[in-house]
A = this chain, B = another copy of it.
Amino acid sequence: MSDYENTLPEKPAATASRRDFLRLSAIGLAVPAGLSVLAACKGESAGGAAAGARGAANGPGTAAGTTATAGMAHDSDQSGGTNAPHPATPQDARAKADAMDAMHEKGIKSFPAKTAGKGNVLMPPRMEGGVKVFDVTAGKVMWEVEPGRSVEAFAYNGQVPGPQIRVREGDRVRLNLTNRLEQSTAVHFHGVELPNDQDGVPFITQPPIKPGQTYTYEFTAPNPGSHMYHSHHNSAEQVGKGLLGAFIIEPRRKRAVERVDVDYVLIMNDGYHGYTFNGKSFPATEPIVAKLGQKVRIRFMNEGMMIHPMHLHGMHMTVIDKDGWPLPAPYRCDTLNVAPGERWDVIVNCNNPGTWAFHCHILPHAESEHGMLGMVTALVVQK
């Protein structure tokens, strides 16, 4: 059994699950095969204490404890596993379930929860003689990731992610970076094909920007697409703590597929601040809202250390761009694996009304026994 435990490179689930797991393993080991130390589940007959979450009406979407046709007897018919011990009486089970459900409900009902600070806010440029100028300051802030949980963050203009920058292909762009951190920094324009001296890598393309200094980047916006700007100095810490943002270069001419009603940037991170979308953890994440029939473009950007396979409920996504480059053969999916440093652009045709869960499908990044958490948001399609 110890072999098995050693082969687990990640904890099986969030919160207390590792402990649970070990405890259950211990039970598993202690129980001789085929022998149940606890009451058999047949004692808990179909149509038990708890009936009708939606009432007892027949038809789709009904919960009717009294109409159960299966029960555990069904299990032994198909004789997959052997019945496991479970100590709880139906009343105990219901009370425990209600307690767990209350936590889940509380989280969902509070969504989208208010927190101080909002990141990824579109930043209007200052015009200086035909140049679009962006003044950006890197500094330390306390950042509220979800209600009541504030963490130390490194932020551009006090935002995590930093302000969203959008320019147009061919624009002359200037970014003044002022460093108010206690360590040096530098800005790399990830995905943007710049002259080497604007690439933002200390000791390779520029000196580090020391605390207190301002450094100016200037270039003509080249290859269009969904790019990023982020620190390239002590980056595991600086990007992990928030020195990152979207840097989008709009094309001179939009493709037909790019004519959308909602254009949303979703940046993932998974380090010092936990599992976040645009700097916030569920329930403080932001829902994406569209009307029935509208087209939504989502620009996924991963600034974390892990993959995050993003799963959309109810509708599929058509993948159109990779790292800002149009895919020659766009394809459809409902779960898109986004690796660190990647950007993927997708289109959703909002043809299915409702509130749709939208989350990372590494389940411990999205839910624990206490309810949804971290990398969960919703796509709301309004009628």
A61 to chain B, nearest CB (A): 6
List residues of chain B with CB within 8 A of the CB of A311: 190, 341
A148 to chain B, nearest CB (A): 8
**Contact among B11, B214, B353, B357 for A9, CB-based, below 8 A:** B11
Residues of A121-162 contacting chain B, CB below 8 A: 121, 135-137, 139-144, 149-153, 155, 157-160
List residues of chain B with CB within 8 A of the CB of A108: 202-204
A224 interfacial by beta-carbon distance below 8 Å = no
Whether A271 contacts B84 by the Cβ 8 Å rule is no
List residues of chain B with CB within 8 A of the CB of A218: 59-61
List residues of chain B with CB within 8 A of the CB of A188: 313
Q: 21 A-B Cβ contacts within 8 A?
A: A6-B18, A7-B368, A9-B364, A17-B240, A31-B150, A41-B180, A60-B218, A62-B216, A68-B214, A69-B176, A69-B178, A75-B137, A86-B140, A90-B212, A93-B211, A97-B210, A236-B369, A305-B363, A309-B339, A316-B323, A325-B333
With A and B bound together, what is the CA distance between A33 and B147 in angstroms?
11
* Assembly stoichiometry (copies): 3
Whether A141 contacts B191 by the Cβ 8 Å rule is no
The answer to whether A337 and B339 touch (CB under 8 A), given A214-B65, A354-B205, A367-B234, is: yes
Residues of A14-35 contacting chain B, CB below 8 A: 14-18, 20-21, 24-25, 27-28, 31, 33
A94 interfacial by beta-carbon distance below 8 Å = yes
List residues of chain B with CB within 8 A of the CB of A15: 3, 6-7
